[in-house]
Copies of this chain bind each other. A is one copy, B any other.
């Protein structure tokens, strides 16, 4: 009765990730060596390395030849929060999202251009406001567009901590394999300024995301606007 289709390296990575996020392994602490992990979990060194590669890609650990592997220091919160679709979930978990009821729209010219889609295309529109846990002012206003095929389930979408695409995964078997993001600086419009509680013209980060399913079909788009002074996007890369 063993699990299937979830790779062993992913299981191992989740376990180590949980240890780090729960601070059972603290910043600076050494991880077991590859040989030790390999023996302890009864998997090959390849599998161990795949797991550690994932964690390194998320910025959670740091590796050095000859020296070893240690838990990365630095803020554990939003750092590299958007490294991959798994990490996107963690980001969503630290904030909550108040959404409006979904309604069908056909893209008008300006939003079509913004999203890079043909005008008139049908989508399901949801407007959401994101607030970090414990904070008062919102960190984003988001316009999300869902593929019309989700029409039967959009009424069951809920506000809260769970990301939209995660809810859709549960409700409709959606499986995102790729996300593109375009990040730009824009001056807040009057409407955005009102929603975010900032001055008109204040600098904002606008992040346009396109979510693709297996086989490159576009299933969700979103345009988020974050107040400049309340939001920093962090990326870390090694190579």
Contacts and interface: CB of A to CB of B under 8 A. Distances in A.
User: How many copies are assembled?
Assistant: 2
Contact of A234 (B62, B180, B202, B215): B180
B184 A233 contact: yes
A238 B178 CA distance: 4
Contacts of A181: 234-237
A179 B84 contact: no
Nearest to A188: B203
Q: Which of A64, A83, A184, A216 has the most CB of B within 10 A?
A: A184
A110 interface: no
Interface residues of A, number: 38
Interface stretch (A16-24, A99-107, A139-147, A224-232): A224-232
B237 A182 contact: no
A57 to B, nearest CB: 9
B179 A236 contact: yes
For the residues of A in contact with B, the DSSP-based class is strand
Interface string A197-214: 000011111000000001
B183 A234 contact: yes
A186 B185 contact: yes
A86 B177 contact: no
Contacts of A231: 184-185
Nearest to A183: B233
A216 B84 contact: no
A183 B228 contact: no
A82 interface: yes
A237 B85 CA distance: 8
A86 B215 CA distance: 28
Interface of A: 62, 64, 67, 82-86, 177-187, 201-205, 214-216, 226, 228, 231-239
